[in-house]
Amino acid sequence: MGLKCYTRVWVKQELWGGGPWARRSILFTQPKNGFRRPALKTGTKLHKSSLTPPVKDLDFHESSRSLKKLVKPFFFTIGFSGCAFGTAAIWQYEHLRTKFQNYFENAQADWLDRIQPQKGLHFRKQINLWWNSLSNGQRAVSGIIAANVFVFCLWRIPALSRIMVTYFTSNPASRVLCFPMLLSTFSHFSFLHMVANMYVLWSFSTSIVSILGREQFMAVYLSAGVVSTFVSYVCKMATGKFGPSLGASGAIMAVLGAVCTKIPEAKLAIIFLPMFTFTAGNALKAIIALDSVGLILGWRFFDHASHLGGVLFGIWYVMYGNKLIWNNREPVVKAWHTVKTWRPNK
């Protein structure tokens, strides 16, 4: 009557935390009246952090640390960054062309608005007034902030948990490596984490867009997110400390690195301690030192490798990358113009 049957089977189980499909030995206990919950024989521990979703840190096979797994992320980083800057160059060209063509049309529309009687400020007009009051940088990051808020809301849907962990957290041990390098840049599990990142981005948006322009800023921001994730991949593979990472910190660190390098004498302050001010140059040194110490000592509350990758990318770009990449965008624009104006011979 109390007879139990034990069956050992091999199953494929997708590891939470973006892990690969791995074969795991599971011992099923089957009593006479039904099944019990399977118990993993290999030890697992729950990954706990206020910044990341509750996923399991598991023991990975040695193949997870193979350098071959970095080949696709490397080419994805190069290819995506190239596409980002190429698209930004075309975007700027089209924007300037359209702006020039519509100059007189807009002037005529403004003249008609002045001579027509105003019926009062409606909700749409109030939104337009608020939007027009923003700086070019604040307008540029509004879409980024909206995307981060949208992805944060997706984390609150239990049915999407598996998809969110797979595609919106970056982990070199995952079966999906490339798309999470970009998507995790817009992903936050913690509300405070998202608010802090978006506040910093909003605060530096005016400066960075005034330095680079809207189109170039978008290319740098997206490329920095992918580059910082790749640096995180390399460090995790080197140390064998796998785990999920998410957040816009790597891309935002590139913004900080660029602004602090370009305007080192600017005065900064911490939001909760506004009485203490310091220069942007000193802040940049402190950020690099803190993340370097965290990487060496193995602190895991933040992804310090991603932070360092982002800030170093921002510094490199304003010092050298702008001249190497953006100033040589003319061939891309010419090729786009040729394709757009091409007409087949009849």
pLDDT at 43 over 50: no
pLDDT score, position 45: 45
- If one compares 183 and 273, the residue with the highest pLDDT of the two is 183
The percentage of the chain sitting over the pLDDT mark of 90, rounded to a whole number, equals: 52
pLDDT at 12: 35
Q: Which two tokens stand for residue 200?
A: 């910093």
Sequence spans of domains, the chain: 70-100+135-340
Rounded Cα distance, 177 and 166, in Å: 9
Instruction: Specify the pLDDT at position 35.
Output: 38
Of 247, 251, 235, 219, the residue nearest 80 (C-alpha): 219
Q: Are 232 and 309 in contact (CB under 8 A)?
A: yes
Q: What is the pLDDT of residue 344?
A: 72
Angle between helices 304-316 and 249-262 (to 10 degrees): 40
pLDDT digits (tens, 9 = 90+) for 228-239: 999 999 999 988
- Name the pLDDT band for 86 (thresholds 50, 70, 90): very high
pLDDT at position 105, please?
62
Task: Name which of 178, 176, 284, 164 is nearest 225 in CA terms.
Answer: 178
Give CATH superfamily name and number for 70-100+135-340: Rhomboid-like (1.20.1540.10)
On the question of pLDDT at 108 being above 90, the answer is no
Asked which of 48-57, 274-283, 285-294, 316-325 is least confident by mean pLDDT, the reply is 48-57
Could you give the angle at which helices 191-212 and 136-155 cross, rounded to 10 degrees?
150
Residue 285 has pLDDT above 80, yes or no: yes
pLDDT (tens digit per residue) in 112-171: 455 555 554 567 777 777 788 888 999 999 999 999 999 999 999 999 999 999 999 999
Active site residues: 249, 307
Residue 254 confidence (pLDDT) above 60? yes
Higher pLDDT: 46 or 309? It is 309
- Helix, strand, or coil (residue 303): coil
Kindly provide the residue ranges of all beta strands, DSSP E only, lying in 84-168, ordered along the sequence: none
- Share the mean pLDDT of the chain: 79
For residue 196, name the pLDDT band (cuts at 50, 70, 90): very high
SS3 assignment, position 22: strand
